[in-house]
């Protein structure tokens, strides 16, 4: 067993773990990042790359504010990260669309946006319905389908290349003295004299703080340090097309055109937790809906498809928790690792390193699930 020491050990090499590790080394902390490297757990490498507010946080206004704050920090976060790492993030903050088909979807959207706007105590939530005519004028180079009835437009929204985000933060983390340890699987966590000993089979990592950002493994590891963090897997499938001239300049939840001109189509949800295979039915449904929205997509070739497992809490909103029983142990899980990268690498790092607890943070405590169960 090789013994190693650090100030903080971050467990989990996905976008959340890497964001936290990246933010911490920039604050001068000595960080070891442990990564299991499991190719079935690919949420961070299989997502749509949205930097998104619209549609999230219904029922938890605090979370909506958190998302808005994250998107406001994103431009500066992106610029700094690009300058440090030398990698392009292809980040765009154009505002985002959710396109509606037919009257029923349109009305549902109207109601939803209304509710969200009303619930926004700060009044910062900026999302409005736009007409079909307005929508077409925003994307003049590509024709909308006959059933398109309008859309909601949210100025906070944008998109990024999520793979480059991970690459840039990983690179910057290591450049700033961070220690990345792949192929390490946490087997045991012990606590004594205010210090954690994390055993992986080959190594024993010792640190004052341990941050668990291990996606679908969070429940198991959090349990080792006295925390109850329920997570649920949900499969999503995505397909990507050949590159074509850039004509669709706003991301939506189910269709976006990447910087290189390829279209990504997705937006599916399945209660599947144990495999990342694609299925014909789901891919076909994705394709069908996409063509109803943008008929010209039918001539583009699909060249790749994949599936990944989203990491969701019971209400799909983050859990940020410090163990009561073992102070210094943290569990962090969220579905929106990409959108929240800007705030995870700053506000959460301040919380972990300097105990600066963000306002209204108790909203993110998992005891809210017990309350829900009780009701």
Residues of the shown chain interacting with other proteins in the complex, contacts defined by CB under 8 A: 35, 37, 39, 42, 45, 90, 92, 163, 166-167, 170-171, 174, 180-182, 239, 241-246, 249, 259-261, 265, 277-280, 283-284, 287-288, 290-291, 297-306
Shortest separation between residue 114's beta carbon and other proteins, angstroms: 33
Classify residue 177 as left (phi > 0), alpha (psi -120 to 50) or beta.
left
Q: What is the dihedral of CA 302, 303, 309, 313, to 10 degrees?
A: -50
Q: How many alpha carbons lie under 13 Å from residue 212 in its C-beta half-sphere?
A: 33
- Considering the complex, state which of residue 90 and residue 157 has its C-beta at the smaller distance from other proteins: 90
| Other C-beta atoms lying within 10 Å of the C-beta of residue 216 | 20
Comparing CB distances to other proteins, the nearer of 225 and 338 is 338
Give min distance, CB of 163 to other proteins, in A: 5
Q: What's the rounded Cα separation, in Å, for the pair 237 and 312?
A: 16
Query: Which of 259, 336, 304, 373 lies closest to 64, judged by CA?
Result: 336
**3-class state of residue 10 by DSSP:** strand
The residue assigned the tokens 């154009």 is 94
Cβ closest to other proteins, residue 68 vs residue 283:
283
Least Cβ distance, residue 279 to other proteins (angstroms): 8
| Strand partners of residue 207 | 6, 196
Residue (13 or 328) nearer to other proteins, CB:
13
Bridge partners (DSSP) listed for residue 235 = 270, 309
DSSP structural state of residue 38: -
Nearer to other proteins, 129 or 138 (CB): 138
CB of 325 to other proteins, least distance (A): 33
Cβ proximity to other proteins: between 206 and 243 the closer is 243
Q: In the complex, what is the shortest distance from the CB of residue 105 to other proteins, in angstroms, rounded to a whole number?
A: 19
CB of 62 to other proteins, least distance (A): 33
Of 15, 5, 7, the C-alpha closest to 213 is: 15
């Amino acid at each position: 067993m090789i013994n190693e020491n650090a100030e903080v050990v971050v467990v989990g090499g996905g976008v959340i773990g890497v964001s936290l590790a990246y933010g911490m080394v920039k604050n001068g902390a000595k960080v070891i990042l442990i990564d299991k490297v499991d190719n079935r757990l690919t949420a961070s490498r299989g997502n749509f790359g949205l930097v998104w507010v619209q549609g999230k946080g219904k029922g938890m206004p605090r979370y909506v504010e958190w998302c808005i704050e994250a998107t406001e920090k994103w431009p500066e976060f992106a610029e700094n990260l690009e300058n440090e790492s030398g990698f392009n993030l292809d980040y765009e903050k154009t505002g985002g669309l959710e396109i509606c088909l037919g009257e029923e979807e349109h009305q549902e959207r109207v109601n939803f946006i209304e509710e969200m706007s009303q619930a926004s105590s700060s009044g910062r939530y900026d999302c409005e319905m736009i007409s079909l005519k307005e929508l077409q004028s925003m994307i003049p180079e590509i024709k909308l389908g006959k059933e398109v009835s309008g859309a909601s437009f949210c100025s906070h929204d944008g998109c990024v290349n999520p793979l480059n985000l991970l690459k840039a933060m990983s690179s910057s983390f290591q450049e700033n003295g961070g220690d990345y340890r792949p192929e390490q699987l946490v087997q045991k966590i012990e606590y004594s004299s205010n210090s954690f000993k994390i055993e992986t089979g080959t190594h024993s990592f010792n640190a004052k703080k341990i941050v668990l950002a291990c996606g679908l493994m969070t429940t198991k590891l959090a349990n080792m340090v006295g925390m109850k963090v329920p997570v649920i897997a949900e499969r999503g499938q995505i397909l990507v097309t050949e590159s074509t001239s850039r004509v669709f300049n706003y991301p939506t939840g189910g269709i976006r055109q990447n910087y290189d001109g390829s279209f990504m189509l997705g937006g599916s949800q399945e209660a599947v937790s144990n495999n990342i295979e694609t299925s014909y039915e789901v891919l076909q449904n994705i394709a069908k809906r996409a063509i109803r929205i943008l008929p010209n997509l039918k001539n583009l070739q699909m060249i790749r498809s994949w599936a990944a497992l989203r990491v969701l809490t019971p209400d799909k909103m983050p859990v940020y928790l410090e163990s009561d029983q073992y102070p210094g142990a943290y569990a962090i899980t969220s579905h929106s690792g990409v959108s929240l990268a800007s705030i995870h690498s700053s506000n959460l790092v301040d919380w972990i390193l300097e105990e600066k607890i963000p306002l209204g943070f108790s909203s993110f405590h998992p005891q809210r699930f017990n309350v829900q169960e009780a009701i």
